Structure 1
Amino acid sequence: MVNKIDFVVTWVNGHDSEWQNKKQHYLFTEDKKLNSDSRYRDWNIFKYWFRAVEEHAPWVNRVILITEGHLPDWLNVTYEKIFVVKHSDYIPEEWLPTFNSNVIELNIHRIEELSEHFVLFNDDMFINKSVVPEDFFENDLPKDVGVFSPQVPFRGGIASISLNNIEVINDYFSTYQILKLYGKKFFRLFYGKHLIKNLVVLPWDKVLGFFDHHLPIAYKKSTFKKLWYIEEDTLTKTSKSRFRNKDNVNHWLMRYWQLATGQFSPRTVKFGNYYDIFEECDSVIEEIKKPKYSLICINDGENSSEFESIKEKIIFAFEQRYPTKSQFEK
C-alpha cells in the first residue's frame, strides 16, 4: 500500500485584471482557438472540488494547489492539508510568465514537496463518490486504462498535441512489443467495448494512440524525471511556449509512457466519466445528485450565450450536494 498520495490541482482566476492584461500582452501572435477565454473562465465551483475531496478522500496526504499567484478569497491557506505553489516557485524563470497549461503540468516534478505518488486534476475534474488509495495506486503502480485508440485530429482540438506525444512513444516502443510484454493488462473484460480498439490496432506495428479518458491521472514523480532525462529537448521546447500550440507535448506523454512500459495496474473504464457541460448539462446535474461514477470531468466548451444560466444550475446542484464548508475554506 502506498503511504502518501498527493492531489495536485491547477487553477487560474480568469477575472484577475492584472493577469488578463499580461495575457493579452503576449497573446496577439498565438493560436486563439487553442487559447480562447473559455479555457480560463471561472465557474465559481472550485470550493466544491475541495468539499468533495474532504468528504470522499479524507486520506489524501495533501492538496497541492498550483496557481499563477492569485488565490480564491475563501481558501484557508493555514490548513495543514493545503500547500500552495506559484508558477514562479518551480518553473524556471526564463519560461515565465506562462499561460500554457502544458508548461505548468510538465514541470510539476520540480516541486520538491510533491510526493512520489500523486494524482493530477484539472479544476473541472471532481471526485464524485468515496474513493480509497487503492483506486489510484495498486502494488506501487498507478491505476489506469490500458486501451489503444487511433488519434483523430480536428480543428480547435488538441489531437495534434496527442500525436506529438505518440511520436515520442514510437521512438521507443511498438504495439507488438507492448502487447507481447504486457498484453494481460491490455485485454481485460472490464474495458468493455473499448477492447475492440485493442484488436483494431493489431495490424499496425507503430502505436496509433492511446485512449484518453479526460479524468484525473495517477502518476509517479519519477516518471516525469525519467522523461525529462531522455527527452529534455522536446520538453524544453514546449516549456518555452507561453501559450498552448500544436507543436506542444503535454503530460499525457508521461501517462503514455506508464502504459507503454506496463507501469500501471488495470482499472475499469466505468470508474469515471467525461461530460460536456453545455451539451450534457442535465446529465451533469443528475450525476451530481445521484452519482454513478467515482470521478467526473465536466468540461467547458465554446458556448457563451448559455454560460450564466448553466453556471447557476451547476452551482445550485453542487450546493445541494455539498452544503457544508470544508476545512479548506475560511
Structure 2
Amino acid sequence: MGRTEPRPIEPPTIKAVTEPYGYFTDLEAAHVLHGGEIRPAYTLAQATPLEVWRRNLEIVTAILTAAGIDFFSVPGFSITRPVLGVDAADRQRVCTALAMLCESTGGRLSVPEPAFRESELGLDRPLWAQRADMGDVPMIRADWLWTDAGRDLVFGADYGCDIEFWSDTGDGHLLAPRHNRITPVVRRDGARVSAPGRFFTALGSGPRAVLPSVATRSEFGVPGPDHVGFPIDVVYTWVDGSDHGWLRRRAEADQSPYHVESASVARFLDREELRFSLRSLHLNAPWVRHVYLVTDQQRPHWLDDEAPGLTVVDHRDLFDDPDCLPTFNSHAIETQLHRIEGLSEHFLYFNDDMFVGLPIGPQLFFEPNGLAKFFPAQTFVGMDPVSVSDSPPNAAFKNDRALIERAFGRTISRMMKHVPYPLQRSVLAEMAKEFDEDLARTARSAFRDVTDVSAVTLQHYYAYLSGRAVAGQAKVAYVELGMPDVAEHLELLLERRDRETFCINDAGLPPELAEERSAMMLRFLESYFPVTSPWEKALAF
C-alpha cells in the first residue's frame, strides 16, 4: 500500500481557534479535579450524554472546517463518543489546531487505544503536535469536561470526540485505523454527503432525540443492519399507597388476598422512585418515543402530566371490563397493557423501582429486525403443583408453565431478572385470545390470587417459542433495601456507574428500618440522577 507524506504543519488561523471558542464563552465554568487533573468543567442547562455528544462533535467539526480540513463522520461502536475520519495527510494540521484549542479552553487531547506508542499517550501540549516524528499516531481524542448545574455529574473522555487518521491505500481508497459498524474502507475521492445524526449514535435513534445532520461519506449515508428504526415506548404502573381515595377503595374491596405478600403495605408505598426512574430514561435512553403512566385515579405531586411525551392512563380507560375495577393486583393490570391507545408495537414495561444506569441503545432490548429480548434469571421455580403456600410470583409462574406446556409442549423453570421488560403489543393481544379464560380470570382478581398468571413472563416465553424473541444479556444489579449491607451496594453502584440497568426493591425490608432505608435510597437516587426530566414540574421559589 502506498503512503502519502504528511503535509507541512500550517499554524491554524485566528478564526480556526476563535470560532469554536465561542462555544465556551457563554458557559459558566468551574475547575474540578477529574482523572487526576484540575480542569475547567463547563455547565450545561441539559447535561445529558446526548447533548455532550452533540457539543463535542460540533466543536471539533467547527475547528476542522475553519482550518480547511476535510472530515467525515464515522459510525463507531461507542454510543457516547462521536467519531470523525480525516485523511492521514492532514494529521499534523489536525493535531496542531486541536492542541491549540484545548490549550486555550481546558480541553484535553489523548491517543485512545489502540495506540502505537504507549509512551506518548498524552497530547496536551501544543509543542507535541508540532514534532516531526508523530506520523504513526492512528487517532486522537479531544474532550472537554461538561457538568450539570449542581456539578454532580462530570462527562469527560468517555464522551470525547475521536478523530481517526485514514491512510492512503495507493489504489484510490482510504483505510481506517480500526473497525467501525459499516466499512473500514472508503473511496478517497468519494462524495461528501449529509446524513441524519441518529445513524452515528444509538442514543439519537428515537424521535425525541433531535440531532442535526452530519457530514459524512456516501458509504455511511445510510444506516447499517444494526440500526433500530422502529418506535419504542415505555409503560409504567404506579400507585401511591398513602392516597386516601385509594385506601378507601382498597378497604371497600370485597376480595381478600390469599397471601400476606399481596397485602403488604410496602408493595404500595411510594418513595418517589418513579421520579428518578424517569430521570434515568431522560438521561440514558433518550430514544424512547413516549411514556405511558398507568394509575388508579392518581398523579404524583411532582409530575407535569401535560408535558409532551407523557400520557397518564387511568385504570378506567384501560380495562375492557369495568367490573374488574378497582384492582390492586399488578398481574391483573398487566393483562391489559396492550389495550393502551397509541402504544407502539415494541415497548418496555418498567416497574418504578427499575432504573437505566448508563447510556444504552435500544439494541439492549430489541433486535433491529424487531425481535424482543428477555433476560432469564438463575432463579428456578420448583416443579411441585401450584398451591396456596406459593408466593404470588411463584404461583403465577407455575400457572404460566402450565399454559406454555399446553401451547408448545415445553416446560419452563427460570424466572426473569428485574430488568425492564421488552414486550410486543401484538404478542400480548394474541395471548389474550389464546389464553382468554386464564387472562380474564386474572384480570378479575382484585388482589393477587393463586390462580393468577403473569402476562409479562408468559409473553417472554410465548414470544420466544413462537420465534419472536431471543434471550438477551445485560449488565444489571439487583439491590434489596432489607439487605444488611445495602449501603455498601448502593455506594458501589454510585462509584462505578457500570450497570446498564438496576433495580432497588423493598423485599425483606423490616418495618422498623423502612424510614431509614427509604431516606438512604432517596439520597442515592438524588446523587445518581441529579438532572431533572422534562416530565417534572418546575420548582417554585
Q: Same fold (TM over 0.5)?
A: yes
Deviation at 1:48?
A: 0.9
Deviation at 1:29?
A: 2.8
The 3-state SS of whatever aligns with 1:305 is: helix
Deviation at 1:148?
A: 8.6
Task: Give the letter for the 1:234 counterpart.
Answer: D
Closer/same/farther in 2, CA of residues 107 and 157 from structure 1, 3 Å limit: closer
Q: Does 1:169 align with 2:373?
A: no
1:225-244 matches, cutoff 5 A: 225-244=429-448
1:25-40 matches, cutoff 5 A: 25-26=252-253, 29-33=256-260, 34-40=262-268
Moved more, 32-41 or 304-313: 32-41
Deviation at 1:325?
A: 1.9
**Cα distance between partner residues in 1 of 2:423 and 2:256:** 34
Q: Does 1:78 align with 2:306?
A: yes
> Which of 214, 222, 234 is residue 7 of structure 1 equivalent to?
234
**Cα distance between partner residues in 2 of 1:83 and 1:29:** 31
Deviation at 1:150?
A: 4.1
Closer/same/farther in 2, CA of residues 232 and 272 from structure 1, 3 Å limit: same
1:114-138 superposed Cα distances (whole Å, 9 cap, x missing partner): 1100000111111111111111111
The 3-state SS of whatever aligns with 2:502 is: strand
**Cα distance between partner residues in 2 of 1:43 and 1:271:** 25
**Cα distance between partner residues in 1 of 2:499 and 2:378:** 22
Deviation at 1:243?
A: 0.7
**Cα distance between partner residues in 2 of 1:61 and 1:224:** 20
The 3-state SS of whatever aligns with 2:333 is: helix
Closer/same/farther in 2, CA of residues 171 and 234 from structure 1, 3 Å limit: same
**Cα distance between partner residues in 2 of 1:311 and 1:61:** 31
Deviation at 1:147?
A: 7.4
Closer/same/farther in 2, CA of residues 148 and 257 from structure 1, 3 Å limit: farther
**Cα distance between partner residues in 2 of 1:259 and 1:146:** 12
Deviation at 1:94?
A: 1.4
Structure number with higher strand proportion: 2
Task: Give the letter for the 1:25 counterpart.
Answer: E
Deviation at 1:208?
A: 3.9
**Cα distance between partner residues in 2 of 1:208 and 1:318:** 35
Closer/same/farther in 2, CA of residues 146 and 48 from structure 1, 3 Å limit: closer
Closer/same/farther in 2, CA of residues 148 and 69 from structure 1, 3 Å limit: same
**Of the two structures, which has the highest relative contact order with CA contacts closer than 8 Å and spacing of 6 or more?**
1
Aligned counterpart, 1:194: none
1:175-202 superposed Cα distances (whole Å, 9 cap, x missing partner): 4xxxxxxxxxxxxxxxxxxxxxxxxxxx
1:195-234 matches, cutoff 5 A: 207-234=411-438
Closer/same/farther in 2, CA of residues 77 and 147 from structure 1, 3 Å limit: closer
The 3-state SS of whatever aligns with 1:309 is: helix
Q: Does 1:128 align with 2:357?
A: yes
**Cα distance between partner residues in 1 of 2:469 and 2:475:** 15
**Cα distance between partner residues in 1 of 2:254 and 2:279:** 34
**Cα distance between partner residues in 1 of 2:267 and 2:377:** 27
Aligned counterpart, 1:292: 498
The 3-state SS of whatever aligns with 1:158 is: helix
8 Å Cα contact 1:289-1:317 kept in structure 2: no
Q: Structure 1: which 5+ runs fail to align?
A: 176-206
The 3-state SS of whatever aligns with 2:344 is: coil
1:1-330 matches, cutoff 5 A: 1-26=228-253, 29-33=256-260, 34-91=262-319, 92-138=321-367, 139-145=369-375, 150-152=380-382, 155-175=390-410, 207-251=411-455, 252-268=457-473, 270-279=474-483, 280-282=485-487, 283-302=489-508, 303-330=510-537
Structure number with higher helix proportion: 1
Deviation at 1:326?
A: 1.5
Deviation at 1:165?
A: 0.4
**Cα distance between partner residues in 1 of 2:327 and 2:527:** 36
The 3-state SS of whatever aligns with 2:423 is: strand
Closer/same/farther in 2, CA of residues 12 and 244 from structure 1, 3 Å limit: same
Instruction: Give the number of aligned pairs.
Output: 298
Closer/same/farther in 2, CA of residues 57 and 215 from structure 1, 3 Å limit: same
The higher radius of gyration belongs to: 2
Percent of aligned positions that are identical: 28
**Cα distance between partner residues in 1 of 2:271 and 2:416:** 24
**Cα distance between partner residues in 2 of 1:52 and 1:149:** 27
**Cα distance between partner residues in 2 of 1:312 and 1:40:** 17
Task: Give the letter for the 1:299 counterpart.
Answer: N
The 3-state SS of whatever aligns with 2:511 is: coil
**Cα distance between partner residues in 2 of 1:76 and 1:320:** 22
Task: Give the letter for the 1:277 counterpart.
Answer: L
Q: CA RMSD in A?
A: 1.9
Q: Structure 2: which 5+ runs fail to align?
A: 1-227
8 Å Cα contact 2:392-2:450 kept in structure 1: no
8 Å Cα contact 2:373-2:472 kept in structure 1: yes
**Cα distance between partner residues in 2 of 1:211 and 1:250:** 11
8 Å Cα contact 1:289-1:321 kept in structure 2: no
**Cα distance between partner residues in 1 of 2:265 and 2:376:** 33
The 3-state SS of whatever aligns with 2:408 is: coil
1:37-80 superposed Cα distances (whole Å, 9 cap, x missing partner): 11101122321111111000111101111110110111111211
